[in-house]
Amino acid sequence: MENYRLPKLDSERESLANQIGADGFALLKAIFAPNAPEWLRCHCAVEILRLVWVQQFYAPIDSKVQWRVPKDMPPSAIAIHSPYDIEAHYSSKRSVNWVGYKAHVTESCDEDCPHFITHVHTTSSTLTDEAVVEPIHQALSDRDLLPKEHLMDRGYVNAKLLVKSQIDYGIELVSPVGSDPSWQAHHHPKFASNQFQIDWDKQVATCPKGHQSQTWSEKVDESGQPIIDIRFAQSACRACPSKSRCTRAQTQPRGLTIRSQNEYLALSHRRAVQNTSEFLQIYCHWAGIEGTLSQGIRRSNLRQSRYVGLVKTHLQHILIAAALNLCRLDAWVNGIPLAPTRYSRFLLLRPKTR
């Protein structure tokens, strides 16, 4: 239904939606009536209708049907946004909004051979990027295609994966990680958590002013991940002249919440080296995957699924990857070099900075 066909006023639109909801529930009531054909209740279209109406409308027994307010809508991971494909869900990433799936592409980037796509992983659009790293590595391992270094976008990597990928698969994840989000790191970096000396054997932390922690507690955060909660003595923090730059707490002492030792060290090391020239020289090869996605979109219509459902959409992604590999093999055999990044003529007029 196009937007211009709807009533102009919000009140009129809500009234129309409520009437549509009442009509749908009347149909469902007739289908599930004792004298209705039993096979109707088992039809997949009827079940989709029932689910959509439950997700979109209130149906109290003693009052009229009402359209659900946004805060009472189900999360995107289970909400049905199209009756034609109930596995396609709404998602948003930066300025892009879509209903469908995600395609995660892995390719080789060696300089002495074609850049072949080695794996394509198709998921629901609501699944986070971090969640696909383990399945991708397992799939590559099953086909003996594991790399020594795996260049990834920042959204795929966290402290746990930096450690787990190395231990389970012998892979070094090459990706920048997020900076320390604390207000101390932004306004008073000398009192950020990385300025505290951690003695893992004695389970003691020492602050930049030389005060040692009083408690060290191993806990679990809201997501079930192990963390370490460190607290300093209240008397030491109260008398410290740098208290206002170290903590915003009025009466409580400074506290630290850090990951386990391996994760903490891996994250600290990556933050320390990710701006060095050596790291950037390696990571610059990651930009090639953006070219692969662009090639898939422009040459093979990667963003438009021709099929319904996750399984068939994944098959389409595999066929696109195979076609692109054939194109790349043809270019390699015929000596066609990789094209450099293209810049518009207007951008080339920009003065060079020293």
Q: Per-residue DSSP letters for 292-327?
A: HHHHHHHHH-TTS-SSSSHHHHHHHHHHHHHHHHHH
**Alpha-helix runs per DSSP H in 191-307:** 234-239, 243-246, 261-273, 277-283, 287-300
Whether the predicted pLDDT of 228 surpasses 60: yes
Q: Is residue 346 part of a domain?
A: no
Task: Please check whether residues 256 and 312 belong to one and the same domain.
Answer: no
Task: Please check whether residues 320 and 301 belong to one and the same domain.
Answer: yes
Q: Is residue 268 part of a domain?
A: no
Q: Is residue 283 part of a domain?
A: yes
Q: Is residue 272 part of a domain?
A: no
- pLDDT of 354: 55
Whether the predicted pLDDT of 287 surpasses 90: no
Three-class SS of residue 199?
strand
Rounded Cα distance between 140 and 169, Å, is 10
CA-nearest of 169, 130, 175 to 151 is: 175
φ, ψ for residue 50, nearest 5 deg: -60, -45
Task: Please check whether residues 49 and 192 belong to one and the same domain.
Answer: no
Task: Please check whether residues 255 and 281 belong to one and the same domain.
Answer: no
193 Cβ neighbours under 8 A, 6+ residues apart: 180, 182, 184, 185, 256, 258
Task: Please check whether residues 173 and 187 belong to one and the same domain.
Answer: no
**Alpha-helix runs per DSSP H in 8-93:** 10-31, 38-41, 44-56
Structure tokens at 53: 């109406």
Indicate the pTM of the whole model. 0.85
Q: What is the pLDDT of residues 261-285, one digit of tens each?
A: 999 999 999 999 999 999 999 998 8
Task: Please check whether residues 254 and 283 belong to one and the same domain.
Answer: no
Task: Please check whether residues 294 and 163 belong to one and the same domain.
Answer: yes
Q: What is the pLDDT of residues 169-178, one digit of tens each?
A: 999 999 999 9
Three-class SS of residue 103?
strand
Whether the predicted pLDDT of 211 surpasses 90: yes
Whether the predicted pLDDT of 332 surpasses 60: yes
Question: Mean pLDDT across the chain, nearest whole number?
Answer: 92
Q: Is residue 192 part of a domain?
A: yes
- pLDDT of 110: 87
Whether the predicted pLDDT of 222 surpasses 70: yes
Task: Please check whether residues 190 and 170 belong to one and the same domain.
Answer: no
Q: Is residue 161 part of a domain?
A: yes
117-124: strand order across its sheet: 89-93, 96-107, 117-124
- pLDDT of 188: 93
pLDDT grade, residue 339 (50/70/90)?
A: confident
Give the chain's domain count. 3
Within its chain, how far is the Cα of 275 from the centroid? 23
Q: What is the pLDDT of residues 45-74, one digit of tens each?
A: 999 999 999 999 987 766 788 899 889 999
Whether the predicted pLDDT of 33 surpasses 70: yes
Domain that holds residue 167: 99-177+277-333
Task: Please check whether residues 110 and 252 belong to one and the same domain.
Answer: no
- pLDDT of 353: 65
Whether the predicted pLDDT of 1 surpasses 90: no
- pLDDT of 350: 86
Look at residues 36, 53, 72 and tell me which one is the last residue of a structural domain. Answer: 72
Q: Is residue 316 part of a domain?
A: yes
Q: Is residue 116 part of a domain?
A: yes
- Percent of the chain exceeding pLDDT 70 equals 99
Task: Please check whether residues 227 and 291 belong to one and the same domain.
Answer: no
